[in-house]
Amino acid sequence: MAKEFVSLKIFKSILFLAILASIFYLVSLEWKKRNTPLPTEMNPIVAENRDLLIQKASEKGINIVITDDFRSAAEQDRLYEQGRSREGTIVTHVEGGESYHNYGLAIDFALKLDDGSVVWNLERDDNGNGQSDWMEVVGIAKDLGFEWGGDWAGFKDYPHLEMNFGLSIRELQYGERPPSNIRN
């Protein structure tokens, strides 16, 4: 009888500690979320690869323009309003803090023609090598380690390229951050 009472007491202590540890864990998650500011610029590794992409595409006779890279949460919210509370067509499905652009981990590109016009055309073959210029750029980007929005199962975002370093948007929202040093 006394022995059972002791084990019950131990069980209660363990339960109490487990609850305490869980509360501490949740509070520290929330603390990290509140105290990790959103980035204000491109992640240096992604910026380096963005520049490499422009250079390598140019070497193949394809000129690209980066139409968007870092986007603040406020800019993202403003973009989200487009086609909803504001005029225009819907260009994004996510609000501020929900896009890899908000963490400086994504870029959008378009093709720039010799006459200076910017086009979103997946078929053009202006360097005349029998391959779609757009898909050549995507190929270079993937070799550099980018993930392509055109591969997404749901909404396809053809100009979009991102490096998420294995971090989900939720993890980024909770203050997790990818490396920012240029690796060798």
**Shortest reach from residue 106's CB to Zn ion, in Å:** 5
CA distances from 162 to 141, 169, 172 (A): 9, 12, 14
Nearer to Zn ion, 63 or 92 (CB): 92
The nearer residue to Zn ion, 50 or 160, going by C-beta atoms, is: 160
Contact pick of 49, 69, 160, 178 for Zn ion (by CB under 5 A): 160
Q: Does 108 bind Zn ion (CB under 5 A)?
A: yes
Distance of CA 91 to the CA centre of its chain: 16
User: Which residue stretch of 34-42, 53-61, 131-139, 157-165 sits at the interface with Zn ion (rule: CB under 5 A)?
Assistant: 157-165
Q: Does residue 71 touch Zn ion according to CB under 5 A?
A: no
> Where does 36-151 have alpha helices with state H?
44-59, 73-81, 133-144
Q: Which helix (H) or strand (E) holds 32?
A: helix 2-35
Read off the tokens for 133.
């210029």
- 98 touching Zn ion, by CB under 5 A: no
Residues at the site binding Zn ion, with contacts judged by CB under 5 A: 106, 108, 160
